A and B are shown apart, each in its own frame.
Chain A
């Protein structure tokens, strides 16, 4: 008990009690560990390396990666622990209360130097020709922790190079057998094709039988490899990391908008790397996001073009805008149709919207071939449970999509939850290998009906699940019976607590196919495509994936975009826009997260930001749009929907009550086919990319999918 003299003062007593409370370690779930004499509190499940990181001490390592299993085979993380004779591999050794760790002692210096000496013993002197130079873990750590000179005088071993495909170039002599690539391909990509064969000096990391790495996430192996054994194939010998500018942006080729880093040198985009973003892509991007950017240098529209008898003729901006204005002035608003493309940023969409409405045109087609969702409430078209909902859910029902080829990064997240959180996955749709065990319960809407009736055995599982998720691919919603399927899903939602107001959980998640779609829906553009309607003028805002028969022969088509693809071929007037790396644009991803993609280079030739073109056109036509710069157009966006200027944030919305009820109808029990016939070529940019063409040729015949292609292979 405290001193009686202090007892008299109640405030003092309270302070005393507080002090006892705080000092009691029974209440705090952490233990005390000393790193280099500094005491820190860590949870008892931490390893020494995690404790060192928390204390701000850097421990070098090669084989350790925080998203994969601990191997402990590189031995670079050795530290000294008091009263233990041998150095300890800190990545694998758990902390204990009162442990004293020394990371700066002589034993540690010798250990690190020794390990480095061993690693460099068989490592070739390739730095001048190695792509990893400048960003190589081995270089960096040997400079800091290695000995000045090695003592190895024997012959170094050499290993033959493996062929993993056009994306990952291998120089296996440089491999230090950290086994990160093996762990990645098994644990994250779900394709256990890599392993260590042979033993001792003859150890080789490879597929043993010369398999190609067909995984859609194979590009991430390059990031993982700490040395130059696995290098970026298309990027080989083109640049050094110190020459590159670093621009943090978001990728638009994937509707999840993973966080990326765009590296440019001068006016050229040299490569795209992922950034860590735990709520979207963790640390991975898929191969199209990573490598399709070289399509930005091919087939580019870099000047205004007008179609004449002898092909396309180049004209300047003034002529082009005047021509467009003239054509638009000749028709009334309801004879114009606007089509919003897949990679359009919100600024362009808002400018387009304002411009079209001012003309009197209400026919803005935003959804590729009419995905029948309502833009009224955000819960109708977004992934309501969020990408992070996969971590919380205990049962996922995937309807109508092959997640591995459509959303590989989301698939990797689901795989992690299947192995770590015991998530159960069932699929109605294509029965491809996804990299994890799942139950294939059907392949048409018939199964949905059976689950609703309760006749399907899966219904029981759905009933018992606490936070079930239903991932519905948006391609199902563009079928004839799309709305009926949505109605079916909503009924399922109400019956099986997919929509759970108490837990504020809506498990019905729509996987939209492109950011342009979502952006337009966010801004409220809802016009349906009216079949049989014959417009006189069609304004294609970067729209390339449309059916050519929808545009009448005699319609005047204005195409504003970046690549000479479908849209440009059909166009009568072409206006050069800017691609996603060439403009600062706002995009919305499948979660409803608003992200800002930054501009890395300027558009080639005469290209301009898309909204600027529309602004100019509007002025010439006398309907001047009321914004002159990015700031003002973003104010306009905020006026339409204020959450669209809150970047990197998912604005919560009422997802349990405010849902548009879809109209019930008859579902057609046709098979849900794989919508992506070629993972490597689905939009204008990837179709123009030579790297994607090589990948197509190399991998597609290996991927063995039985699908019904919706569009012929372009």
Chain B
């Protein structure tokens, strides 16, 4: 039996903290001014006694501020903002795999490896990245540019195989060549186009758009206020008629007498 080394995923890393020079209790962290405004708007969404509901939001904000990872000091800061114990923040940050507790490269390449992508060649994409950047899964390249992780389905199955970068941009319809192309562009400092890399438009099939080719008719615009008014008028008329009829009948009855 081949002895398989089970590599932990980068985001889960270790379930305990490792003291390093770049990440310990004393490493300074504070949200920027702009981010503090964001923090306030996030906290405003929750009742004041349930500040801890904002924890995942604030952790993600800290991760974005620190270019893709959450330092320990950020977690401590968040615990002070939310008035919870530090351990509560550590528990949440270590549970969710989207929070990286170790630094990642400038481009955190998350390659989807589940069934639709795998069938369409995700393994080759991973191999390409491994060869081009000289890293294995869960490692960061020496120049600090690329980190490779394999993640679960990212919901772009029609455009498989695909990668997500830094949790934001998605590059789809990859082939090993287009993948290499993307990597080269990043290494050169250029920004490639987001989306399908084979010229496809969104998720269109190979025949292009086959239905819904014409524009829909202009939307009906019903003036409900007018309809209501008409209805009210109609009602009033009918009421008048009924009254008039009653008056007539009463007259007739009197005449008979």
Contact = CB atoms under 8 A, between A and B. Distances in A.
Query: Do any beta carbons of A and B sit within 8 angstroms of each other in the complex?
Result: yes
Interface of A: 160, 162, 186, 192-199, 202-204, 206-210
Contact of A202 (B12, B19, B85, B91): B12
B85 to A, nearest CB: 4
A499 B140 CA distance: 70
Contacts of A202: 8, 12, 15
A4 B8 CA distance: 85
Given A195-B88, A207-B87, A209-B72, A160 B16 contact: yes
Given A202-B15, A204-B16, A197 B91 contact: yes
Contact of B16 (A192, A193, A210): A210
B87 A208 contact: yes
A563 B4 CA distance: 60
B12 A208 contact: no
A209 B91 contact: no
B166 interface: no
B134 interface: no
Contacts of B12: 198-199, 202
A194 B90 CA distance: 10
B88 A209 contact: no
Nearest to A200: B12
B178 interface: no
Nearest to A193: B87
Given A195-B88, A196-B91, 8 more contacts: A193-B87, A197-B15, A197-B90, A197-B94, A198-B12, A206-B15, A206-B16, A207-B87
Contact of B90 (A160, A162, A186, A209): A209
Contact of B95 (A193, A194, A198, A207): A198
B17 interface: yes
A214 to B, nearest CB: 14
User: Which 4 A-B pairs rank lowest in CB-CB distance, beginning with the nearest?
Assistant: A198-B15, A192-B85, A197-B94, A195-B87
A77 B217 CA distance: 64
Nearest to A182: B87
Interface string B12-45: 1011110100000100000000000000000000
Contact of A197 (B16, B72, B97): B16
Given A195-B88, A197-B91, A197-B94, A208 B17 contact: yes
A208 B88 contact: no
Contacts of A198: 12, 14-15, 94-95
Contact of A192 (B17, B25, B72, B88): B88
Nearest to A203: B15
A202 B95 CA distance: 10
Q: Would you call the interface of chain A mostly helix, strand, loop, or mixed?
A: loop
A641 B91 CA distance: 57
Contacts of A196: 91
12 contacts: A162-B16, A192-B87, A195-B87, A195-B88, A197-B15, A197-B16, A198-B14, A204-B15, A206-B16, A208-B87, A208-B90, A210-B16
Interface in B178-196: none
B65 to A, nearest CB: 21
Contacts of A192: 85, 87-88
A208 B16 contact: yes
B17 A210 contact: yes
Interface residues of B, number: 17
A196 B17 CA distance: 13
A160 B88 CA distance: 21
A196 B15 CA distance: 9
A94 B88 CA distance: 28
Nearest to A191: B85
A29 B14 CA distance: 52
Contacts of B87: 192-195, 207-208
B95 to A, nearest CB: 5
Contacts of B91: 195-197, 208
A176 to B, nearest CB: 16
A207 B72 CA distance: 13
Nearest to B94: A197
Contacts of A210: 16-17, 19
Nearest to B25: A209
B90 A195 contact: yes
A206 B12 CA distance: 16
A620 B12 CA distance: 77
Q: Pick the most buried of B85, B87, B91, B94: most chain A CB atoms within 10 A of its CB.
A: B87
Contact of B94 (A160, A194, A208): A208
A209 B85 contact: no
A202 B15 CA distance: 7
Contacts of B94: 197-199, 208
B102 to A, nearest CB: 14
B9 to A, nearest CB: 10
Contacts of B25: 209
A197 B99 CA distance: 13
Nearest to B95: A199
B205 to A, nearest CB: 38
A202 B94 CA distance: 10
B166 to A, nearest CB: 23
Contacts of B15: 197-198, 202-204, 206, 208
A160 B8 CA distance: 15
B240 to A, nearest CB: 63
Q: Pick the most buried of A162, A186, A196, A198: most chain B CB atoms within 10 A of its CB.
A: A198
Interface string B134-174: 00000000000000000000000000000000000000000
A53 to B, nearest CB: 32
Interface string B79-92: 00000010110110
Contacts of A197: 15-16, 90-91, 94-95
A681 B25 CA distance: 31
A192 B90 CA distance: 12
Contacts of B17: 208-210
Interface string B87-109: 11011001101000000000000
Contacts of B97: 199
A195 B16 CA distance: 11
B7 to A, nearest CB: 12
B86 to A, nearest CB: 8
A172 to B, nearest CB: 10
A197 B16 CA distance: 7
Contacts of A186: 85
A410 to B, nearest CB: 23
A208 to B, nearest CB: 4
Contacts of A204: 15-16
